[in-house]
A and B are shown apart, each in its own frame.
Chain A
Amino acid sequence: MSSKNKLLTPLTLLSVVILLAAFAMVIFYAPVELTMGLVQKVFYFHMSAAWVGMLAFLVAAVAGGLYLGRQDLKYDRVSASSVEIGLVFTAIANFTGMIWAKPIWNTWWTWDPRLTTMTIMAFTYIAYLLLRRGMDDPSRRARFGAIYALVGFASVPLTFFSSRLLRTIHPTIFGGSSADMAMTGQMYQTMAVSLVAFTLLFAVLLWHRSRLAAGQAHLAELQAAQDEALFGGDSDE
């Protein structure tokens, strides 16, 4: 197991500082939206959490592919850690979305494409974690995890596309033909800082979680070696 990287502690502190800055900007700096009022402010963290949820899935799939190619358990640990963190952020995105949707859409839940896709993605994450829990052999767990991360990642855009064929009432904020929600400069700045804060937080959490997983793997190896030394390899008893 590698010793702690010198960068990790400063990065962790930096992510806390930027997160607090984003919080302060959301509360004090960003203007109150004209029609939606205060509840619109949940958008900054909602959007950032949703972005991290998707980014985590991408990271899990890429790390899974790398594992299959190189058979190095390091990539498996990154992949599994990314899924765990991604699930939390996807849940945050869903719940903050509900807080916003109740006053604005007058309902907690609606069968909107992005909402549906995010939730299905959360279920894919849960399935991934359940799959891993069903196996003890680290190599098989890593292989199956990688396969499921890849297949899941391939199906998510199709889920999104198919639910978009149905209908959407989600505000299109960027790149749509018509902007449903016009943002001012201060809003853009707040959103940019929130995005940076959440992305950095994700990177730091991923790093910590992967280190923890590496530590756990190392511990398991040591325990197996100790069992062998004490019981002469008869570790089943």
Chain B
Amino acid sequence: MKNWLKTALTLVWKDLVQEWRSRDMLTAMLSFAVLTLFIFNYAMELNPASRSEAAAGIIWVVIVFAGTLGLNRSFTAEQDQGCFDALVMAVPELSVIYVAKLITNLLVMLFLTVLVIPIYSLLYNQSLFMPMLWLVLLLGAWGYSATGTLIAGMTVQTRMRDLLLPILLFPLLMPVNMAVVKAAGAVLAGSALSGYASWVNLLLVYDIIMTVLSILVFEYVIQE
């Protein structure tokens, strides 16, 4: 078990260092996120009256769309020069790869969230530093990464690759999308926890089910 955890953390560290050296993906994701915010601004005529209501939905959509760019890349580093075979040989159990990639993707999503929310606050002059909002977004990002990592592991091995990921992923994410937007909307509207507790519970249930299920089936994703 100790060995298992150590291997997972080593893999996470490897991916983070690799990304940090070029910062290609993070730059692309952040630019994409800000550009999407601008598109929303003009598409929806965000005036002060409607923006509190819409804020939760827009922030989540921006994070989800930008997150797809990151997910698409999460297995591509190992595609070159037989690195994937080396990775498979290096781990005690194949599910370690899934857990490591899940943690990496989650950290990337959180990093993106930490940058996008202040930018949103700045652009719209609306303070978003609320602990419960962060909790909801954390649970949402977990569910997103849990399902997304599993799907990305499969789509990278198909012909259509990047094209296929959102098509496969978005239908599975419907509960997360609904729950995050509703719960975050309630937080922004200033309602008490009891008003959106069922959405938070739903997120937790989704996250746990998808993580456990993915760990169980992941060995079939890379079995050759």
Interface residues of A (CB under 8 A from B): 68, 116, 120-121, 123-124, 126-127, 130-131, 134-135, 140, 143-144, 146-148, 150-152, 154-155, 158-159, 161-163, 165-166
Contacts and interface: CB of A to CB of B under 8 A. Distances in A.
B129 interface: no
Most central of B157, B167, B174, B198 by chain A CB within 10 Å: B174
A131 B220 contact: no
Contact of A154 (B164, B210, B223): B210
Given A140-B157, A147-B150, 15 more contacts: A123-B171, A127-B164, A130-B164, A131-B158, A134-B155, A135-B158, A148-B154, A155-B206, A155-B210, A158-B202, A158-B206, A163-B174, A163-B178, A165-B202, A166-B178
Contacts, number: 96
Contact of A158 (B157, B167, B205): B205
A130 B171 CA distance: 13
A151 B175 CA distance: 13
A159 B175 contact: yes
B147 interface: yes
B89 interface: no
Interface of B: 147, 150-151, 154-155, 157-160, 164, 167-168, 170-172, 174-175, 178-179, 182, 198-199, 202, 205-206, 209-210, 213-214, 217, 220-221, 223
A155 B175 contact: yes
6 contacts: A116-B174, A131-B168, A143-B221, A150-B213, A155-B175, A165-B182
Contacts of B167: 126-127, 130
B33 to A, nearest CB: 25
Interface centre among B147, B168, B206 (most CB of A within 10 A): B168
Contacts of A151: 147, 150-151, 172, 210, 213-214, 217
Contact of A147 (B158, B175, B221): B221
Nearest to A136: B159
